[in-house]
Amino acid sequence: MYCENCGAEISKEAYICPKCGVKVKKEENNDEDKPNVGLNILSLFFPIVGLILYFTWKNQTPIRAKSVLTYCLIGWGIGIFFNIIVATIG
Ligand SMILES: [Zn+2]
């Protein structure tokens, strides 16, 4: 990768450009933007949590947001499914 300030080639792990000393814009966001398994499962059991997380994350980390929304919808679907069964049997 290259420094955005002076164009010097710098190591991926570098936080500061060794040439001009400017803080390197880390691609940290991309690393963070991946599905979070724990919160996906949480969304499965508490779809409302997934929905809130989705709206919180959708701009910053769209991949993670979409993943949590998927589990939220699955959880929601399962909930409705069980409600129908209970309503039918009960
Ligand atoms: Zn630089």
Indicate the pLDDT class of residue 26, thresholds 50, 70 and 90. Answer: low
pLDDT above 90 covers a percentage of the chain that reads: 71
Angle at 59 between CA 58 and CA 65, to 5 degrees: 20
Quote the ligand 1 centre to 9 CA distance (angstroms). 8
CA distance 23 to 85: 58
- C-alpha 3 to ligand 1 mean position (Å): 5
**Model pTM?**
0.61
Query: What is the Å distance from ligand 1's center to 8 Cα?
Result: 5
Determine contact, residues 59/52, Cβ cutoff 8 Å. Answer: no
Q: Among 10-14, 41-45, 85-89, which is the least confidently predicted range?
A: 10-14
